[in-house]
A and B are shown apart, each in its own frame.
Chain A
Amino acid sequence: MSNDKFHRIILPLSNQFYRLALSIVKEQTEAEDIVQDVLLKLWNKRNEWDTIENLEAYCFRSIKNLALDRLVSDAIKKTDSIDAEIESRTFVDTHSPYQEIVQQEQRSIIYQCIEKLTENQKLVFQLREIEGMNYKEISQSLGITEDLVKVSLFRARRKMRELLSNFENFDKNEW
């Protein structure tokens, strides 16, 4: 029975866990490790699942906590540059090397903007913008109140708007 729950409900969320971990540790292998760790830990504790009200939210919280822990304790220096693989990923609609450069620049702009958000704002931003979760789901997954979720998202988007509209280092015509 627990076996089935694990395969039916938890494993399909692996990619979401991965993306959340990745947004925190910013390194693919590390993020995968984190997901693996959490899933296996969870599996080993399946006799305690009955005491956990919301298993999915519990997993998200575990991912978040473990990723934040790793960030602190790892020797991995958190730099402004992003994992080379992600950065080199190109969009399908790239037509020329020049466009590729433009897109790369766009990408670092957004990463820079995101770095200016607070911890909570980043996490809420990730879960809403990327995973499309609603406020209640986000609040359960992060272990914060729904009010804090709303405020964080509001501030995050406002910050993004402010930063992006003030970014003068690029030539709008190129886009």
Chain B
Amino acid sequence: MKKSLLIIFVLLISSSLFADDFVTQFIDTYVEEKRPVNNVNIGKTMLKKMAEDVEDAELKTLLKELNHIRMVITENRKDAKYYFKKANELVDKEFSDYEKMLSVDERKSKVEVLFKEIDKDNQNIILIALDNDRKLTIISVSGKVDFNSISKLSDLLNEEIFSSGTNNEHNRER
């Protein structure tokens, strides 16, 4: 592996323009090199493509109504706890205008979901979850979302994946 000059892609630059997004801000402000995280960004273009690629009409509509899905995940115990604290700090600092949709606070697992309505077709949802004190998941979804659409999306996407045959069975009887 070559190690030297770092080159940044334009797409990453553009992602820093979404300053009002929780995950983007979180990465900008708190993520450190020594504490690497997994980050997934699914933008509008990709969502449109996904909508084209699925069969189900309802799923198509739901996907088209989303703006982006961003995630940050770490499975390192120390980092998870550290970033969990930082995520909450960020909420208090910059996202205090969000409504707390639900919060579960058990000894080892904590989940919080925050919600903000921008307008009729535009909502932001933030999820911050710490599982078993060792895995941190931060998800931010923007678009037309509510309780209903979330569980529908979850079911339909799982169905889509299942029916598109991505099951891992390697029985090649010829």
Residues of B within 8 A of A (CB): 163-174
Q: A54-B165, A137-B172, A139-B165 are in contact. List 9 more A-B contacts (CB 8 A).
A: A57-B165, A57-B166, A132-B174, A134-B172, A134-B173, A136-B171, A143-B165, A145-B163, A145-B165
Tell me, rounded to whole Å, the shortest Cβ–Cβ distance linking B169 to chain A.
Answer: 7
Q: Is the CB of A52 within 8 A of B173?
A: no
- CB within 8 Å: A-B pair count: 32
Q: Is the CB of B168 within 8 A of A54?
A: yes
A120 interfacial contact with B, CB 8 Å: no
Complexed CA–CA distance, A57 and B168 (Å): 10
Selected contact of B170 from candidates A52, A54, A58, CB within 8 Å: A54
- Collect the chain B residues with CB atoms within 8 Å of residue A137's CB: 172
Within 8 A of B (CB), among A34-77: 52-54, 57-58
Q: Is the CB of B174 within 8 A of A53?
A: no
A14 interfacial contact with B, CB 8 Å: no
Size of the chain A interface, CB-CB below 8 angstroms? 17
Tell me, rounded to whole Å, the shortest Cβ–Cβ distance linking A52 to chain B.
Answer: 7
Residue among A58, A140, A142, A145 with max Cβ neighbours from chain B (10 Å): A140
Q: Is the CB of B171 within 8 A of A54?
A: no
- Collect the chain A residues with CB atoms within 8 Å of residue B170's CB: 54
Complexed CA–CA distance, A57 and B167 (Å): 10
Q: Is the CB of B166 within 8 A of A52?
A: yes
Q: Is the CB of B174 within 8 A of A144?
A: no
Complexed CA–CA distance, A21 and B151 (Å): 38
Q: Is the CB of A53 within 8 A of B166?
A: yes
Q: Is the CB of B166 within 8 A of A54?
A: yes
Within 8 A of B (CB), among A6-48: none
Interface string of A105-128 (1 = CB under 8 A from B): 000000000000000000000000
Selected contact of A140 from candidates B165, B173, B174, CB within 8 Å: B165
Tell me, rounded to whole Å, the shortest Cβ–Cβ distance linking B46 to chain A.
Answer: 13
Q: Is the CB of B174 within 8 A of A134?
A: yes
- Which 4 pairs, one residue from A and one from B, show the smallest C-beta to C-beta distance? A140-B165, A53-B168, A53-B166, A143-B164
Within 8 A of B (CB), among A125-157: 132-134, 136-137, 139-145
- 11 contacts across the A-B interface (CB closer than 8 A): A53-B167, A53-B168, A54-B169, A57-B165, A57-B166, A134-B173, A137-B172, A139-B165, A140-B167, A141-B165, A145-B163
Tell me, rounded to whole Å, the shortest Cβ–Cβ distance linking B18 to chain A.
Answer: 23
